[in-house]
């Protein structure tokens, strides 16, 4: 049979291990809490994608307008050049 001193030594050994386990569990819980605080829900993700899609539509419209504006400016430059020739300014 184990003596009281042997049992006390084993309890101290187990106590240290239990303390380390408790610290590890607390650390894991804190890490999980940080992850949960920074996570977004599926609804929030879908909302962000919807807003991004709307922005892409706007950007495509702006790009199409830019292309049309460049073509318009080129036509105007051609007409100005033609008028200058007609008026003998070139």
0.75 surpassed by pTM: no
Q: Which residue has the higher pLDDT, 4 or 59?
A: 59
Judge contact between 15 and 7, C-beta under 8 A: no
Amino acid 2: pLDDT = 61
HEC profile of 2-30: CCHHHHHHHHHHHHHHHHHHHHHHHHHHH
Q: How far apart are the first and last CA of the chain?
A: 118
Task: Report pLDDT digits (tens) over 21-63.
Answer: 888 999 999 999 999 898 999 999 999 999 999 999 999 999 9
% of the chain with per-residue pLDDT over 70? 84
């Amino acid at each position: 049979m184990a003596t009281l001193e042997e049992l006390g030594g084993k309890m101290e050994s187990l106590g240290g291990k239990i303390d380390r386990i408790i610290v590890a569990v607390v650390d894991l819980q804190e890490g999980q809490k940080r992850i949960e605080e920074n996570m977004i829900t599926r609804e929030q993700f879908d909302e962000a994608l919807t807003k991004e899609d709307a922005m892409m539509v706007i950007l495509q419209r702006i790009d199409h307008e830019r292309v049309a504006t460049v073509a318009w400016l080129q036509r105007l430059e051609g007409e100005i050049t033609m008028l200058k020739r007609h008026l003998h300014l070139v």
